[in-house]
Amino acid sequence: MNSYEIFEYYRTHTSLNSEDMADFHVYTQDPVNTLDGMMAIAGLTINLLENPWNEDNLTILLTACDGISNQAFERIVVGLLLTLMVHDQHIRHNQNLLDDIQEILTFAPELSFTALCNIARTTHMKRLELFNQQLSQELLPLIHDKSSNEFYDIIQSRQSEMEEIARMNLDQNFLLFRDFYNNPFFHERAYNWLLPWNDEALLNIDEDDREELADFLQIWSLCDSDKYALCHMYKAFKGILKSQLSVDSLREVGLNIQNQNIITNAYIQQLYRYFRLSKFAKSQPFDMAHKMRDLIVYRLVVVGELAQKNIGNLLI
């Protein structure tokens, strides 16, 4: 099977057997065809989040951690955290399963905590969407009225809210890019929502724009699905992007933000877009994030008063 078929198989087959487990291990541990393993993990994660509880399927994910790449391991950790949230009632009473899960999470405690924090941040997305909607409604009528100071008065009145959003490192790219997903690339295949970035996608861009867009992608930290969305919609939006977010303006404000744990954060963003925007999605696992303090995942990952304080500040 190719990577697309592997993804679809593990996404759609609700009852997987020992042969499927053996194949899954081959895909995830192959050092050459790493895309197969990445997409197998993504497919199985969606399977676990969208279907009734199946311990055998979770066991496949749990036993695939040895001998895999760092990026694949991060995908497993993210999938495991979300599965813990969605199937909390089934998992919390299974001590043997909890021991196996805890062994994986404590192998990389900083990674697990960072990923859980990024999931917690999604609780603010609806608030952020409402804030941006209100701000746009207030500003749009004034944007061409150069004689009015009211534009700047509104910005100043909203400054404290804007600063809070900036401090929390919320995923503002989701608001900017959500309309970019209205194209055939994302409508035809669920696979494309979770696809790791490949520079060959730049070939979709006119040659005259290709170098500038490549620089743009390098400077501005985007999740992989946002990069694909931008490439497939660049022709329609390049005028707006060039006027609002030019490569030079991004350099001036220093948005070269290659953060630690960027892969984990970006993959969570990809999953968030899939479940919020995709016609293929059948559930909303991130809606569980606001209940995190009451879930078993919180007790497994959030250890100590400082950790509780840090993640508590992200939950509403």
Contact 314, 168 (CB under 8 A): yes
pLDDT digits (tens, 9 = 90+) for 207-237: 777 777 777 777 677 899 999 998 888 777 7
Residue 304 falls within a domain, yes or no? no
| Structural domain containing residue 142 | 124-259
Give residue-wise pLDDT tens across range 42-60.
999 999 999 999 999 999 9
Q: Cβ–Cβ contacts within 10 Å for residue 253, how many?
A: 7
Q: Is residue 98 part of a domain?
A: no
Q: Is 134 a domain residue?
A: yes
CB atoms within 10 A of CB 63: 14
Please indicate, yes or no, if residue 70 is contained in any of the structural domains.
Answer: no
Q: At what angle do helices 18-29 and 34-50 cross, to 10 degrees?
A: 140
Is 230 within the bounds of a domain?
yes
Q: Is residue 300 part of a domain?
A: no
pTM comes to 0.84
Distances (CA, A) of 10 to 91, 245, 258, 266: 21, 39, 32, 22
**How far is residue 45's CA from residue 82's CA, in Å, rounded to a whole number?**
8
Q: Is residue 178 part of a domain?
A: yes
State how many domains the chain has.
Answer: 1
H/E stretch holding 182: none
In a domain, residue 160? The reply is yes
Q: What kind and span of H or E run contains 96?
A: helix 95-107
How confident is the model over 257-307, as pLDDT tens digits? Answer: 444 444 458 899 999 999 999 999 999 999 999 999 999 999 999 988 988
Sole residue written with tokens 């508590």: 312
The answer on pLDDT for 113 being more than 50 is yes
Q: Residue 312 and residue 316: Cα distance in Å, rounded?
A: 8
For residue 75, which of 261, 253, 234 has the smallest C-alpha distance? Answer: 261
